[in-house]
Amino acid sequence: MYYDINVILIFILGLIVGSFSNVCIYRIPRNESIIYPASHCPKCCSKIKPVDNIPLLSFILLKGRCRNCKTKISVQYPIVEFLTGLIYLIIYLIYGLSIQTLIYIILSSALIIIAFIDLNEQIVPDAISLPGIVIGFILSFFVYYISFVDSVLGIFVGGGIILIIGLTGLVIFKKEAMGGGDVKLAAMIGAFLGWRYIVISLFLGFFLGALTGICLIIAKIKSREDVVPFGPFIVLGSFITLLWGEKIISWYIGF
Ligand SMILES: [Zn+2]
């Protein structure tokens, strides 16, 4: 049977990057350095030994508790690690050993970090989205699968759609539904994926966001007045699009 060792390697790479992403998700909103100090338990401050810092495995072996003080470790840690490994793996299976795979895995890590910071703190960090817009634009000059015109259009179409919807919501409902953070996030994704993909991403994001909102209201977990962060849905929509965008487009044209 043919099998590709890279599949395993890329998944492990994703787990390791996911482990580092957890550090970013915790520290970036707190304006802490993502390098120093080394990982430590947020409760008892004891340093986490390398053997207890193995993605996924350590969480299972330690039964989700700090070795020193037995405080529960958030289940978000293994989730972020596994998600990163999984998305790396699917990107590789679709795009193979290519520059597109490399750029897409970097983009997806940035998006996972943004999505979880938004879930936890209801902010989209400028520290990632603003450099992301610039990097996506610069890269478009060097890669074959997106032109710089498409990248620029992506920035303005992506940011513009959210801006218009946000302003409309503000005028009609007198409520801030989408913040400036979402505008910059959509612009960043547009810079990497171009105008067609950002339109699909946002459409999927709105759809999934509305669906989730309705489910949460029906299940009485949230009320109509609660604000559900929109960033994670934009990210989810863009993941679906960067993986299966061409399929979605040819399906749509087939109608
Ligand atoms: Zn501890």
Question: 27 C-alpha vs ligand 1 centroid, how far in Å?
Answer: 17
Q: pTM (2 decimals)?
A: 0.93
DSSP 8-state assignment for residue 45: -
Question: 79 C-alpha vs ligand 1 centroid, how far in Å?
Answer: 20
Spans in the chain with pLDDT lower than 50: none
Question: 250 C-alpha vs ligand 1 centroid, how far in Å?
Answer: 52
- The phi, psi pair for 199, rounded to 5°, reads -60, -45
First to last CA, the chain: 39
CB 234 within 8 A of CB 185: yes
For residue 15, give the 3-state DSSP assignment: helix
61 is written with which tokens? Answer: 């072996």
The Cα 115–Cα 155 span in angstroms is: 19
The Cα 53–Cα 58 span in angstroms is: 6
| Per-residue pLDDT, 158 | 97
Q: Is the dihedral of CA 165, 168, 174, 180 positive or negative?
A: positive
Question: 45 C-alpha vs ligand 1 centroid, how far in Å?
Answer: 6
CB 191 within 8 A of CB 133: yes
Question: 46 C-alpha vs ligand 1 centroid, how far in Å?
Answer: 6
The Cα 94–Cα 87 span in angstroms is: 11
Question: 85 C-alpha vs ligand 1 centroid, how far in Å?
Answer: 26
| Per-residue pLDDT, 221 | 81
> What DSSP line would sit under 163-181, residue for residue?
HHHHHHHHHHHSS--S-HH
pLDDT, one tens digit per residue, over 104-127 is 999 999 999 999 999 999 999 999
